[in-house]
Amino acid sequence: MNNEKQKTNKARGFVDFVIKRMQTDNGFAAAMRRADNPDTEYQSWEFLASFNIDLGKPWERLPYCTVGAAIAKAKPEHDGSLGLGLAIGRCYNDGNSDSQAKAKLRRMLACETVEEACLFLRPLLSLIASRGVQLSYGKLLNELCYFGPEIKSIWAQNFYGSKAET
């Protein structure tokens, strides 16, 4: 339990750090924007290493790269509150695009590894940001750190539970 709490605090601390620092440090913001590109992600490693991220383990490094880049691109003033499933649903509020939202969710649920999930998340996080949806990056990062069937069921419950409310 203590290890889980440490990972949660580490993820939330990283998100808070990125949000705060990118508001005053343009070089940092530029490095983080490049973190989700395999050819340029090394520019963010200095900052990841300061959070004791093992750079040699893609399953540990890529969630931080993906979420850090998404934050730097979206430029939120603070972390949002919505889980991934609900955020996907909110991107398609008009009702006519429900099948598109379900397709995005099903694609996320089909991911077998965290590396695959991070790869698919890149454009999805851009879509979420472009729609002004207030995603909780801290929660997402923590979920990616524990990626597996339980996390996927949380995303599905979050998505379909929100559909039942509307």
Q: Give the pLDDT of residue 95.
A: 56
Nearest CA among 62, 80, 61, 85 for reference residue 19: 80
pTM comes to: 0.89
Sorted by where each begins, the domain ranges of the chain are: 2-165
Burial of 137 (0-12, 13-18, 19+ CB in 10 A): buried
CB atoms within 10 A of CB 95: 7
**Of 58, 77, 80, 62, whose CA–CA distance to 18 is shortest?**
77
Give the pLDDT mean for 134-153.
Answer: 96
166: pLDDT confidence band, cut at 50, 70 and 90? Answer: very low
Within 10 angstroms of residue 92's Cβ, the number of other Cβ atoms is: 18
Q: Which CATH superfamily is domain 2-165 in?
A: CRISPR-associated protein Cse2 (1.10.520.40)
* 146 pLDDT more than 70: yes
- Which amino acid is present at 159? F
What average pLDDT does the structure give for the chain? Answer: 90
Mean pLDDT confidence for 126-139: 94
Report pLDDT digits (tens) over 33-75: 999 999 999 999 999 999 999 999 999 999 999 999 999 999 9
pLDDT of residue 45: 96
Q: Kindly state the percentage of the chain with pLDDT values over 70.
A: 90
**Dihedral (Cα; 55, 61, 23, 43), 10-degree rounding:** 40
β partners of residue 82: 135
Q: Is 90 exceeded by the pLDDT of residue 7?
A: no
Condensed to tens digits (0 to 9), the pLDDT of residues 78-108 reads: 999 999 999 998 988 765 567 888 999 999 9
Q: How far apart are CA 117 and CA 62, in angstroms?
A: 10
Q: What are the residues facing 135 on neighbouring strands?
A: 82
